[in-house]
Amino acid sequence: MALARSRGRRSSIDIWPGFVDALAQLLMVIIFILLVFTVGQFYLSDALSGRDEALKELQQKISALADELALEKQTAETLRGNTASLAAQLKASEDARAQLNAKLAAAGSAAGALSDQTRDLQAKLAAEQQTSQAARVQVEQLTAEIASLRDQLAKVAAALDLSAAKVKEQQGQIVELGKKLNLALASKVEELARYRSEFFGKLSEILGNRSDIRVVGDRFVFQAEVLFAPGKAELAPEARQQLSPVFAALKEIAAKIPANIDWVLQVNGHTDHRPIHNTDFASNWELSTARAITVVRYAIDQGVPANHLSAAGFSDNQPIDTGDSEDAYKRNRRIELKLTER
């Protein structure tokens, strides 16, 4: 009977960590998807901003063409006014000529006495005819200019229609590019999430259910004491035994990740908020950064490509436990591994 109770307790203990790991991994995937989706939206916004600037420049050019069109219309109106004025002058000249002809006919009976006046009137008539001829030439020139302006206005209108069509086409292209970008981002996020899940699964199998090595969100967390002596940044001998299978699993997963996914393993160092007091490090900033760099260097020694690694120190600025107990300090002193997209 005691053996049955012992087996019952062992079954409960074995089931519960697996259930917690499953929930933690599910939460990690959801948070990562939201993070990558936010980053994708940022880059998409940046890409669309560039398209908006090009569209704005095209709209400015269209506005400039519209201004030129308005100016040409104003010039045409001025020319029409000048044409009407010249036409009025021509009519007045013709009326004057008619009056002079009438006077010349009336003066025919008195040709002898009014010969001098007749010559003057003929001279005036010739001058008026020259003026009328010059007016006709000017009217013809203005008519030709008006026809030319109409052709130019037609060309400008056609150019405006073409520009509007191009703007509409470009807007369609922008929408289509946005859809393709969203699909590509979603595909990459889903694919990287699959490899990250496989990586974390292998780490869980390798490291087992240890309280000092756990999953927090989308990160695998090592307590600092597992890897480093207090206040030091050199890996302890047992730390190399802990990290070697981790990087071996990473290399195995990395070989499966397609080349078009720009992944990176982020190594982040954290300390508690108590100031450090030794000659090696001036502050917790230096300590946390040095520890992260040490882990990255060991990963490179184990064959992980350097271009897929990054190191960062956060000092005590991102605690996971805000308490002041020794247990809280211990939880905050940690090294985090995060597999994500660059």
User: What are the structural domains, with CATH classification, of the chain?
Assistant: 52-186 (1.10.287), 210-341 (3.30.1330.60)
pLDDT score recorded for residue 204: 60
pLDDT score recorded for residue 209: 58
SS3 readout for 132-194: HHHHHHHHHHHHHHHHHHHHHHHHHHHHHHHHHHHHHHHHHHHHHHHHHHHHHHHHHHHHHHH
| CA max distance for the chain | 163
CB 342 within 8 A of CB 262: yes
pLDDT score recorded for residue 312: 96
3-state SS, residue 251: helix
Six-digit token string for 144: 């030709």
Q: Which helix (H) or strand (E) holds 210?
A: none
CA-to-CA dists, residue 163 to 49, 160, 168, 174, 294, angstroms: 20, 5, 9, 16, 59
Nearest to 62 by CA among 160, 172, 209: 160
pLDDT score recorded for residue 328: 92
* Residue type, position 13, single letter: I
pLDDT score recorded for residue 1: 47
Angstrom distance (rounded) from CA 220 to CA 222: 7
* Strand ranges in 242-308 using DSSP code E only, listed in sequence order: 263-270
3-state SS, residue 334: strand
Residues 185/190/191/197 CA torsion (nearest 10 deg) = 140
Q: pTM for the full model?
A: 0.45
Going residue by residue through the chain, which has 342 residues, state the pLDDT in tens, using 9 for 90 and above.
454 555 555 545 567 777 788 888 888 889 988 888 888 888 877 777 777 777 788 788 888 887 887 887 888 788 788 778 877 887 887 888 888 778 777 766 665 666 677 677 778 778 877 877 877 888 788 888 888 888 888 888 888 877 777 777 777 777 666 665 555 444 555 565 666 666 666 666 655 555 567 777 678 898 999 899 989 999 988 889 888 888 888 888 888 888 888 889 999 999 999 998 788 899 999 999 999 999 999 999 999 999 999 999 999 999 999 999 999 999 999 999 988 887
CB 125 within 8 A of CB 94: no
